[in-house]
C-alpha cells in the first residue's frame, strides 16, 4: 500500500500537480504553458523560447527569489553568446515571453513583484539582423503589374497575389476568404469583409492577427480579376460553380488530394502559397529573391507613394485595431467613401501578355451594362492545362503521366527542357 501511495505522489509531483518545496521558475513555466495551451494562445513558440534560452539559466531558481538583476544577467548572456548568436528582434521576442510569464506569476500570487522592467539599454536596440534587407523587400510597380498579369503564373495564384498587392490582405486572411465575404455591389467600390484568418500551424480558422474585423474596399483592378475568376476560372479549377460558402482561392483538387496531415477544406496555407512562389513563380519571372509576404508591404508602399492618407490606410485597411472605447461602440459608420477614395489612388493595372495593354473587365460579375472580356486567347487556352500540369508535383507515375504530354507539346513549340529552365527564366523574364 505504501509503495502504491509513494508511486502516485512521485507521478503527481512529476506532472506538477504537487509542489515539493518552493515553486521554481521551471515549475511555474510548465503551469503557465499549460494554461496558455488551454486558451489556444501561441504556446508552442513560448515553450520553445523558454526551453532554449531561459530555463537552462534560471529554471531551478525559486520564482519568488528572481530579481531584476537576474533577468539582466540572463539577457546579457543571450546577447553575448557567440556560439549561438541571436538576432536583436529575437532577443526582444524572448523578453516579451519572459515578461508575460512573470506578470502572470504576480497576478497568481506566486511572487510579490515582477522582475521584468528592462529597457533597450539592457536589451539592445530593436533592429533587424541585416539592416539592409527591409528596404529591398518590396516589389516595384512594374513588377506588381507583371505578377498579376503574367500568363506563366496560374490564374488562381495571380488572384491570391492580387488580394495581397491590391488590398493589403495577409496570406492567412486570403486563405480564409469565402465568396460571401465579397460584396461587389457596394458603392463606390466593392467590399471585402476580412474577419478570419487560416492558421497553418494550428490547421484551423481563427480570428485575424489583431482580432479585428476589416472592411476593405476592392480596387477596380482586383474587382475585375475576382469577376473573371468567379465567372470561369474557379469552375475550371474545381469542376463546379462556386457557392457563397466556398473559399475564394482554395488549393487545387490535385494538391488537396495529396495532403498527408491535413483533412477537411482545402485552405491555402502560407506554407503552400510560399512553396508555390519560391518553387514555380519566382523562377518563372526570373527576378531576385523576395518573399511572398513582401506583397503586403508593396501595397502599403505603393498606395502611399500614390498619395493615399497614411493614417486612413493603416487604421481602416491594413492594421485595423479592435474598438477600445465606449464612443467606438456608438460610431457605427465606416466612413466608407473616404476609404474607397484612398484605396482607389493606387495605380496598378493588368497588362495583356507582351503588349502592355490594360485589360478591361467588369467590376462585378453580372453587373449591368458591362461586357465580360477575358484574357487573350493564348492565355486562356493555357489556363486549363496549367491546372493539371503546374499544380502536379512529380511524386508518382500518375503525376508524370499528366505532365509528360504537355511537356512534349511545349518542346515541340520550342520551349526549353526542365534542365534548361533556370537559365531560360533568367534570360527571358516574363513580359510585362
Alpha carbon distance 151, 142 (integer Å): 15
Q: Please identify, among 89, 123, 157, the residue that sits at the C-terminal boundary of a domain.
A: 123
Q: Please identify, among 61, 89, 123, the residue that sits at the C-terminal boundary of a domain.
A: 123
Say if CB 367 and CB 187 are below 8 A apart: no
Residues 21 and 87 in one domain: yes
Backbone angles phi, psi at 359, to 5 degrees: -95, 120
| CATH number for position 38 | 1.10.150.130
Could you tell me if residue 264 is inside a domain? yes
Could you tell me if residue 40 is inside a domain? yes
Could you tell me if residue 399 is inside a domain? yes
Residues β-bridged to residue 62? 24
Alpha carbon distance 75, 81 (integer Å): 10
Overall number of domains in the chain: 2
Could you tell me if residue 131 is inside a domain? no
Interstrand relation of 204-207 and 196-199 (parallel, antiparallel or unpaired): antiparallel
Could you tell me if residue 146 is inside a domain? yes
pLDDT recorded at residue 353:
55
pTM: 0.71
Residues 189 and 332 in one domain: yes
pLDDT recorded at residue 403:
33
User: Grid coordinates standing for 64?
Assistant: 519568488
Say if CB 189 and CB 217 are below 8 A apart: yes
Interstrand relation of 191-194 and 214-217 (parallel, antiparallel or unpaired): antiparallel
- Parent domain of 21: 15-123
Residues 115 and 163 in one domain: no
Residues 275 and 342 in one domain: yes
Say if CB 243 and CB 265 are below 8 A apart: no
Alpha carbon distance 34, 149 (integer Å): 48
Backbone angles phi, psi at 174, to 5 degrees: -60, -45
Say if CB 249 and CB 264 are below 8 A apart: no
User: Grid coordinates standing for 415?
Assistant: 520551349
Q: Please identify, among 98, 123, 148, the residue that sits at the C-terminal boundary of a domain.
A: 123
- Count CA atoms closer than 13 A to 155's CA, side-chain side: 28
Could you tell me if residue 2 is inside a domain? no
Question: First-to-last CA distance in the chain?
Answer: 81
Coil vs helix vs strand at 306: coil
Could you tell me if residue 419 is inside a domain? yes
Alpha carbon distance 87, 127 (integer Å): 8
Residues 103 and 143 in one domain: no
Residues 236 and 357 in one domain: yes
Say if CB 382 and CB 390 are below 8 A apart: no
Query: Running DSSP on this structure, what letter comes out for residue 245?
Result: T
Q: Lay out the sheet containing 214-217: strands in order across.
A: 182-183, 191-194, 214-217
pLDDT of the chain, 432 residues: tens digit per residue: 445 544 654 565 555 555 567 999 999 999 999 999 998 888 999 999 999 999 999 999 999 999 999 999 999 999 999 888 999 999 999 999 999 999 999 999 999 989 999 999 999 999 888 888 888 999 999 999 999 999 999 999 999 999 999 999 999 999 999 999 999 999 999 999 999 999 888 888 988 888 889 999 999 999 999 999 999 999 999 999 999 999 999 999 998 888 877 778 899 988 999 999 999 999 999 999 999 999 999 999 999 999 999 999 999 899 887 765 556 555 555 589 999 999 999 999 998 755 444 444 444 444 443 344 344 433 433 443 333 333 333 333 333 333 334 434 444 444 444 333 333 333 344 554
Amino acid at each position: 500500500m505504501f509503495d502504491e501511495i509513494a508511486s502516485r505522489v512521485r507521478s503527481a509531483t512529476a506532472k506538477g500537480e504537487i509542489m515539493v518545496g518552493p515553486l521554481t521558475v521551471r515549475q511555474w513555466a510548465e503551469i503557465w504553458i499549460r494554461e496558455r495551451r488551454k486558451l489556444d494562445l501561441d504556446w508552442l513558440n513560448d515553450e520553445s523560447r523558454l526551453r532554449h534560452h531561459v530555463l537552462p539559466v534560471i529554471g531551478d531558481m525559486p520564482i519568488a527569489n528572481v530579481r531584476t538583476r537576474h533577468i539582466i544577467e540572463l539577457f546579457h548572456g543571450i546577447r553575448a553568446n557567440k556560439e549561438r548568436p541571436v538576432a536583436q528582434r529575437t532577443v526582444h521576442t524572448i523578453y516579451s515571453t519572459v515578461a508575460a510569464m512573470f506578470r502572470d506569476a504576480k497576478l497568481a500570487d506566486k511572487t510579490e513583484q515582477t522582475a521584468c522592467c528592462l529597457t533597450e539599454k539592457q536589451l539592445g536596440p530593436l533592429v533587424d539582423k541585416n539592416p539592409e534587407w527591409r528596404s529591398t523587400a518590396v516589389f516595384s510597380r512594374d513588377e506588381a503589374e507583371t505578377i498579376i498579369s503574367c500568363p506563366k503564373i496560374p490564374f488562381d495564384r495571380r488572384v491570391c497575389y492580387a488580394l495581397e498587392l491590391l488590398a493589403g490582405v495577409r496570406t492567412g486572411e486570403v486563405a480564409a476568404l469565402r465568396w460571401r465575404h465579397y460584396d461587389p455591389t457596394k458603392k463606390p467600390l466593392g467590399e471585402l469583409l476580412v474577419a478570419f484568418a487560416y492558421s497553418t500551424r494550428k490547421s484551423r480558422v481563427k480570428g485575424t492577427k489583431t482580432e479585428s474585423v476589416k472592411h476593405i474596399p476592392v480596387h477596380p483592378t482586383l474587382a475585375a480579376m475576382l469577376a473573371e475568376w468567379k465567372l470561369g476560372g474557379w469552375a475550371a479549377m474545381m469542376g463546379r460553380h462556386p457557392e457563397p460558402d466556398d473559399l475564394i482561392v482554395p488549393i487545387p483538387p490535385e494538391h488537396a488530394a495529396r495532403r498527408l496531415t491535413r483533412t477537411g477544406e482545402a485552405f491555402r496555407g502560407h506554407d503552400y502559397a510560399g512553396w508555390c512562389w519560391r518553387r514555380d513563380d519566382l523562377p518563372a519571372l526570373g527576378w531576385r529573391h523576395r518573399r511572398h509576404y513582401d506583397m503586403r508591404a508593396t501595397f502599403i508602399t505603393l498606395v502611399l507613394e500614390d498619395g493615399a492618407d497614411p493614417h486612413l490606410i493603416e487604421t481602416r485597411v491594413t492594421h485595423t485595431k479592435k474598438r477600445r472605447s465606449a464612443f467606438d461602440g456608438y460610431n457605427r459608420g465606416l466612413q466608407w467613401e473616404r476609404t474607397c477614395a484612398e484605396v482607389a489612388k493606387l495605380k496598378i493595372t493588368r497588362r495583356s501578355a507582351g503588349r502592355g495593354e490594360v485589360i478591361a473587365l467588369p467590376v462585378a460579375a453580372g453587373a449591368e451594362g458591362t461586357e465580360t472580356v477575358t484574357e487573350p486567347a493564348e492565355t486562356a487556352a493555357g489556363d486549363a492545362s496549367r491546372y493539371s500540369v503546374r499544380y502536379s508535383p512529380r511524386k508518382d507515375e500518375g503525376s508524370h503521366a499528366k505532365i509528360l504530354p504537355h511537356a512534349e507539346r511545349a518542346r515541340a513549340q520550342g520551349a526549353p527542357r526542365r534542365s534548361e529552365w533556370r537559365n531560360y527564366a533568367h534570360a527571358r523574364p516574363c513580359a510585362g
